């Protein structure tokens, strides 16, 4: 049996960077430390960080001291301001690609463009870019319900597909005389999807490793299960050896929030099958 791990599986640049900053702070600085929502969508990593002192909270109510860690998705400016007013120290791990999208959104609004964000309305990253006046669109057909504006500026949530962004931009031309757009898309996720699709075509079983709440991992699982037998697991102990019988090639893929040690454990367990 061959075991192949899809290229680019696991932590993307932004998640790796955020974790390095956080681990350093937890080791060197005085707490308490908080994040609004889990730092990444991986329960094993979140557990590890909580043992080192990082607390996950839903809002800033009742928080009077300590350090607020801004996740790689970023936070709305108003929330950061509130934290500062409360006297909290801020450690910002916003991914530079997300930061660029936030800056472009701000720039367009300050120049008088009606801001359109291509993305998922409830996603923290979109919330971090949006203002009260901005419009969030997920699909091109939603442009039809939109009013016209003299100037429209458009940016994207970093994990959007370029195809969807282009589809929306094309339709927006009918809603304005002046359109300015920035394709603020990060390729890490689309690269992972491409390598997973390629591997799933040749593997007779795919194991997709990552948090149950990780949208990015769920997407890799959907891609895999369309092409071959596939299972979404969080850790090696979830592998059922009956899945492995008669398999020649087992592919492993993992979302952008899955640490390497979890991927390695899965690979080791599969390789150990039958030994
Ligand atoms: S997916 Fe891209 S934008 Fe998002 S955190 Fe990772 S590197 Fe940054």
**Counting atoms of ligand 1 from 1, which one is nearest the CA of 73?**
5
Q: End of a domain among 95, 117, 148?
A: 95
Say which residue the tokens 């350093």 belong to: 24
If you measure from the C-alpha of residue 224 to the centroid of ligand 1, how many angstroms do you get, rounded to a whole number? 22
Cβ-Cβ contacts under 8 Å for 234 (sequence gap 6 or more): 42, 43, 44, 209, 210, 211, 212, 262
One domain, residues 199 and 181: no
If you measure from the C-alpha of residue 228 to the centroid of ligand 1, how many angstroms do you get, rounded to a whole number?
27
pLDDT of residue 83: 97
Of ligand 1's listed atoms, the one at least distance from the Cα of 97 is 3
Adjacent-strand bridge partners of 208: 232, 253
Pair (104, 78) in one structural domain? no
Active-site residue flag, 125: yes
Residue 215 has pLDDT above 90, yes or no: no
Query: Whole-model pTM above 0.75?
Result: yes
Separation between Cα atoms, residue 274 and residue 12, nearest integer Å: 33
Q: Which of 185, 220, 241 is the last residue of a domain?
A: 185
User: Inter-axis angle of helices 96-110 and 13-28, to 10 degrees?
Assistant: 100
**CA of 116 relative to ligand 1 center, distance in Å:** 20
pLDDT for residue 44: 92
257 alpha carbon – ligand 1 mean position (Å): 10
Give the total number of structural domains in the chain.
3
Partners of 116 in the β-ladder: 135, 154
Residue 251 · residue 244 · CB < 8 Å: no
CA of 240 to the centre of ligand 1 (A): 32
Q: What does the block give as tokens for 164?
A: 């969807």
Give the closest residue (by CA) to ligand 1 atom 6.
14
The CATH number of the domain holding residue 137 is 3.40.1010.20
Q: Are residues 151 and 180 in the same domain?
A: yes
Give the structural domain span for 141. Answer: 97-185
Bin 229: left if φ > 0, else alpha if -120 < ψ < 50, else beta. Answer: beta
Q: 65, 109, 125, 178: which is the annotated catalytic residue?
A: 125
The minimum-distance atom of ligand 1 relative to the CA of 18 is 5
Nearest-CA residue for atom 2 of ligand 1: 186
Q: Which structure tokens are listed for 159? A: 């994990």
pLDDT score at 275: 63
DSSP, collapsed to helix, strand or coil, labels residue 41 as coil
- Span 216-271, pLDDT tens digits: 899 999 999 999 999 999 999 999 999 999 999 999 999 999 999 999 999 999 99
Summarised one tens digit per residue, pLDDT across range 81-113 is 999 999 999 999 999 999 999 999 999 999 999
Boundary (domain end) residue, out of 166, 185, 204: 185
**Same domain as 143, residue 206:** no
Q: Which residue's alpha carbon is nearest to atom 5 within ligand 1?
A: 14
**Could you tell me which residues are beta bridge partners of residue 136?**
117
| pLDDT confidence bin for 274, thresholds 50/70/90 | low
Residue 89 φ/ψ, nearest 5 degrees = -80, 145
C-beta separation of 54 from 35 below 8 A: yes
57 and 27 in a common domain: yes
The pLDDT assigned to 213 comes to 86
**Sign of the CA dihedral running 230, 196, 45, 184:** negative
Find the residues whose C-beta lies inside 6 A of ligand 1: 12-15, 72, 95, 97-98, 158-159, 186, 188-189, 256
Q: DSSP states of 108-146 as a string?
A: HHHTTPEEEEES-TT-HHHHHH--SS-EEESSGGGGGGP
Considering only CA atoms, give the Rg of the chain.
21
Beta-strand relationship, 67-70 and 89-92: parallel
| Residue appearing with tokens 């282009």 | 166
Rounded to an integer, what distance in angstroms lies between the CA atom of residue 39 and that of residue 86?
21
């Amino acid at each position: 049996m061959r075991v192949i791990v899809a290229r680019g599986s696991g932590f993307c640049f932004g998640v790796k960077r955020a974790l390095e900053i956080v681990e350093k702070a937890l080791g060197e600085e005085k707490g308490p430390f908080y994040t609004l929502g889990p730092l990444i969508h991986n329960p094993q990593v979140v557990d590890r960080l909580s043992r080192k002192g990082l607390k996950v909270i839903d809002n800033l109510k009742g928080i009077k001291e300590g350090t607020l860690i801004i996740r790689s998705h970023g936070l709305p400016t108003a929330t950061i301001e509130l934290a500062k007013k409360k006297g909290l120290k801020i450690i910002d791990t916003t991914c530079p690609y997300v930061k660029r999208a936030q800056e472009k959104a701000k720039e367009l609004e300050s120049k008088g463009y009606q801001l359109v964000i291509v993305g998922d309305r409830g996603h923290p990253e979109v919330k971090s870019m949006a203002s009260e006046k901005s419009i969030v669109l997920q699909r091109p057909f939603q442009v039809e319900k939109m009013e016209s504006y003299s100037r429209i500026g458009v940016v994207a949530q970093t994990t959007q597909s370029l195809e969807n962004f282009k589809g929306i931009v094309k339709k927006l031309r009918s809603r304005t005389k002046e359109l300015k757009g920035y394709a603020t898309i990060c390729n890490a996720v689309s690269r992972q999807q491409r390598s997973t699709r390629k591997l799933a075509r040749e593997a007779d079983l795919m194991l997709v490793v990552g948090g149950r709440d990780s949208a990015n991992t769920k997407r890799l699982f959907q891609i895999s299960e369309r092409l071959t037998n596939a299972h979404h697991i969080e850790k090696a102990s979830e592998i059922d050896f009956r899945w492995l019988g008669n398999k020649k090639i087992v592919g492993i893929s993992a979302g952008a929030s899955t640490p390497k040690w979890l991927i390695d454990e899965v690979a080791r367990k599969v390789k150990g099958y039958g030994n």
